[in-house]
Chain A
Amino acid sequence: MKRLLPLIAAASLLASCGEKKPELHLYTWDDYLNPDLITKFEEEYNCRLVVDIFDSNEAMLAKLKAGATGYDVLVPTSYMVKVLAREGMIVELDKSKLPNLQHVDPDYLTSLAFDKEMKWSVPYMLAPTGIAYVSDRVENIEPTWRVFERADLKGRMTLLNDSRETLGAALKTLGFSINTLDPAQIGQAKDLVISWKKNLAKFESDQYDSGLASAEFFVSQAYAGDAFQAQEDNEKIEFILPAEGTSVACDDLVISKNAPNPELAYAFINFLTEPANAAANMEYIYYLAPNKSAYELVSQEFREIDSLFLDAETMKKCEVIDDLGENNKLYHDAWDLVRAAQ
């Protein structure tokens, strides 16, 4: 045995020489991180960043609940953060390890965020729903949801095929909350959407961006990401936010309960909240990273996109769509009536 000891020591030394770099596993949406930042993070922390992707919050939840492990940082949408926290699947953040949290936009936190104290999550990227229109085909578009009342654009407009977004637009127009549980308010919103419906080409969630690019549609209720993409094909497309307010979707960074490498996970979240990195990231993704210090670091051209850089005033009017649990039925029922209406 004694003679073996040096051998063992040598073997373990060899093993440690060939030791692999530590790995951080990120579970996120596709194309949702500037590739330059991946390289930068890998160099700064002498590690490997492995990115895995999911295509819906529900799919991610299902997979984690079934017991899949090995992911450090997850990027769920705000409402899913609540679910993950309730199920005890993510850790309470230790803020002493995240000094860059001081840069997070306080206006966003107070007016929009669910997790206002950043107890579980750090906001990553947000994007509003708004109105996209083809500027050389329509005249004097006002920034209001009431544009869908215009009979002169009949058959050339689309609303999203999504009960919460579409009824949400109507609720905002009427001055109610997007997450209201009052059946009377939802009823009024339903009637408003039905009155808009006769001017619509259709309810469309997937193809409206190509419809805008080819000017088949002139005005669409649109997600910011889709609208900016369509702009690359048709520069005449404009994207505005209605004055009544709208819905904002936000994805957050959280750390999985069974993260293999929590230290690196903290380092990564802190790294992304670094203003320079947040700036580089939002110019790549074309969403808004709610990071006050980063607003000063982006290019002039990007900074001038008003529909993305929500000011405090606009933010107050916007809301994040919440998961209402059993009360979702209120919206589903109203939506069924909208779909059935002639």
Chain B
Amino acid sequence: MKSSRIPAFILSLVLVFLYLPILLLVVNSFNEARYSSTWGGFTLKWYEALLDRQNRDLWDAAQRTLLIALASSGISMILGTLSACALHWYRSRLQRINYGILYLPIVIPDLLMGISLLLFLVALGVTLGSGTILIAHVTFCASFVTVVVLGRLQGFDENVIAAARDLGASKWVIIRRIILPLLAPGIVAGGLLAFTLSVDDYVITFFVTGPGSTTLPLKIYSMVKHSKDLPIINAISTLFLILTFLIVWLSQRLTEHQPNRDSP
């Protein structure tokens, strides 16, 4: 029987739809012309402009964004894993409510979350800045990690833990040698999700940011409105794209090798 060509056709359409805009952005970052509608020749000037002292604040913003993303994904990996384990293993009448509460930040509109966080922080008298952005990002990132790790726990073979206990493993050994390695792909995947969400969050960050803590998405949004050097955005986005691909590639390698190492 001849295989249908339709799936391949749809696949290529989807790929084009997803990746052509990104490809255009990369191409335009080397475009001499200011506007993407014309090709003005190959140039590296937008990358050079990135190194200018003038664009110091762009680097500051990029650095701040990365730091916040690393910290918030790190914290939410810990919190998310703990809460997923708690939700999965302990039974009480409150569990449904707990689950609902954890799920809420995922479904709640960003705008609502941003404003309520801002009102809350202001009422507490907290100084707005990178710290409050971190808190805000952890609040929604932790939920995503929880959901991903919970998914991993669904397929978790409880007998492994019972077997370990039979063989005299202590609680600590069970956590370190059995639970964590088995959950690792979920934790890493959740962490990566949290990282990307944190890097490109605009709405919530806009509300909880304070003086002197502009992040890259905030910077790029206002550059779009007002900047004279718009194509610089293409250049810095390309750099971020490379970084993202690197991280994804790295994480895939890590998760691929994880099971192999443990097998004899």
**Chain A interface (Cβ < 8 Å from any Cβ of B):** 23, 25, 27, 29-32, 35, 50-56, 59, 63, 66-71, 209-211, 213-214, 216, 225, 229-230, 232-233, 286
Which of B37, B122, B212, B223 is the one whose CB lies under 8 Å from A213?
A: B37
Q: How far is the CA of A81 from the CA of B219 in the complex (A)?
A: 23
**Interface pair A233/B212, CB less than 8 Å apart:** no
User: B224 — which chain A residues lie within 8 A by C-beta?
Assistant: 55
The 7 closest A-B pairs by CB, nearest first: A210-B35, A67-B122, A30-B222, A25-B211, A70-B211, A55-B222, A50-B212
A70 touches B128 (CB 8 A): yes
Knowing that A50-B211, A210-B36 touch, tell me 19 more A-B residue pairs with CB under 8 angstroms: A25-B211, A30-B222, A30-B223, A31-B223, A31-B226, A31-B228, A52-B209, A52-B211, A52-B213, A55-B224, A63-B118, A67-B119, A69-B128, A70-B211, A213-B34, A214-B37, A229-B34, A232-B34, A233-B38
- Assess the B222–A54 pair: CB atoms within 8 A: yes
List 13 A-B residue pairs with CB atoms under 8 Å apart, sorted by A's residue number. A23-B211, A23-B212, A31-B228, A35-B54, A35-B56, A52-B212, A53-B222, A66-B118, A67-B123, A70-B211, A209-B35, A210-B35, A210-B36
Q: A25-B212, A68-B118 are in contact. Are A31 and B229 (CB under 8 A)?
A: yes
Return the chain A residue nearest B223 by Cβ. A30
Tell me whether A55 and B37 are in contact (CB under 8 A): no
B103 at the interface (CB under 8 A from A): no
A53-B214, A229-B228, A233-B33 in contact; A68/B223 too (CB < 8 A)?
A: no
Chain A residues with Cβ below 8 Å from B106 are none
Beta-carbon contacts under 8 Å, B130-178 to A = none
What are the residues of chain B within 8 A of A68 when measuring CB–CB? 118, 122, 128, 210
Size of chain B's interface in residues, with CB distance under 8 A?
37
Docked-complex contact A55 and B221, CB < 8 angstroms: yes
**B93 within 8 Å of A (CB atoms):** no
Report Cα–Cα, A190/B157, bound state, in Å.
72
Q: How far is the CA of A211 from the CA of B40 in the complex (A)?
A: 14
CA distance A225 to B230 in the complex (A): 13
Report whether B34 and A30 are in contact in the complex, using a CB–CB cutoff of 8 Å. no
List residues of chain A with CB within 8 A of the CB of B38: 210, 213-214, 233
**B210 interface neighbour in A70, A210, A216, A225, Cβ under 8 Å:** A70
Task: State in angstroms the CA–CA spacing of A80 and B40 once bound together.
Answer: 39
Verify if B227 is at the interface (C-beta below 8 Å from A).
yes
Our pick among A29, A71, A225, A233 for the contact of B34 (Cβ within 8 Å) is A233
Contact of A29 with B128 at beta-carbon distance under 8 Å, contacts A52-B214, A53-B214, A210-B35 already known: no
By the criterion CB–CB under 8 Å, are A51 and B35 in contact?
no
- For residue B37, give the distance in angstroms from its CB to the closest CB of chain A: 5
B37 to A216, Cβ gap below 8 A? yes
Neighbouring A residues of B223 by C-beta, 8 Å: 30-31
Residue ID in chain A nearest B122 by CB atoms = A67
- Closest beta carbon of chain B to A249's beta carbon, Å: 12
Interface residue ranges of B35-84 to A (CB < 8 Å): 35-38, 40, 53-54, 56-57
User: A55: which of B56, B128, B226 is its contact (CB, 8 Å)?
Assistant: B226
Query: When the two chains form the complex, which single residue of A25, A59, A213 contacts B33, counting CB atoms closer than 8 Å?
Result: A213
List the B side residues contacting A54 at CB < 8 Å.
222
- Distance in angstroms from A287 CB to nearest chain B CB is 11
Query: Would you call A32 and B226 a contact (CB within 8 A)?
Result: yes
Q: A70, B40: Cβ atoms under 8 Å?
A: no
B225 CB-CB contact with A under 8 Å: yes
Complex alpha-carbon distance, A216 and B35, angstroms: 12
B22 at the interface (CB under 8 A from A): no
- Cα of A68 to Cα of B120 in the assembled complex, Å: 11
Q: Flag if A30 contacts B128 (CB, 8 Å).
A: no
**Could you tell me if A30 and B119 are in contact, using CB atoms closer than 8 angstroms?**
no
Interface pair A56/B33, CB less than 8 Å apart: no
The distance in angstroms between the C-alpha atoms of A51 and B36, with both chains bound, is: 29
- A31 to B220, alpha carbons, bound, how many Å? 11
Return chain B residues, CB-CB under 8 Å to A66.
Answer: 115, 118-119, 122, 207
**Complex contacts, A27 vs chain B, CB 8 Å:** 211
**B119 surroundings in chain A (CB, below 8 A):** 66-67
Residues of B within 8 A of A213 (CB): 33-35, 37-38
Interchain CB contact under 8 A, A53 and B206: no
Is B244 part of the binding interface, using a Cβ–Cβ cutoff of 8 Å? no
Q: In the complex, what distance in Å separates the CA atom of A75 from the CA atom of B212?
A: 16
The CA of A31 and the CA of B37, in the complex, are separated in Å by: 23
A residues in contact with B34, CB < 8 Å: 210, 213, 229-230, 232-233
Give every chain B residue within 8 A of A225 (Cβ-Cβ). 226
A286 contacts across to B, CB distance below 8 A: 228
- Asked whether A55 lies within 8 Å of B225 as measured between CB atoms, the reply is yes
Tell me if A30 and B53 are in contact (CB < 8 A).
no
Q: With the chains together, A78 CA to B228 CA distance in Å?
A: 22
Q: Which residues of B contact A230 (CB under 8 A)?
A: 34-35
Q: Are A210 and B226 in contact (CB under 8 A)?
A: no
With both beta carbons as reference points, the residue of chain B lying nearest to A216 in the complex is identified as B37
Does B127 belong to the interface (CB within 8 Å)?
yes
Q: Considering residues A30, A32, A68, A214, which has the most beta carbons from chain B within 10 angstroms of its beta carbon? A: A30
A214-B35 CB under 8 A given contacts A31-B223, A66-B115, A229-B228? yes
Q: Closest residue to A71 on the B side, CB-wise?
A: B211
Complex interface residues of chain B between 210 and 260 (CB less than 8 A to chain A): 210-214, 218-219, 221-229
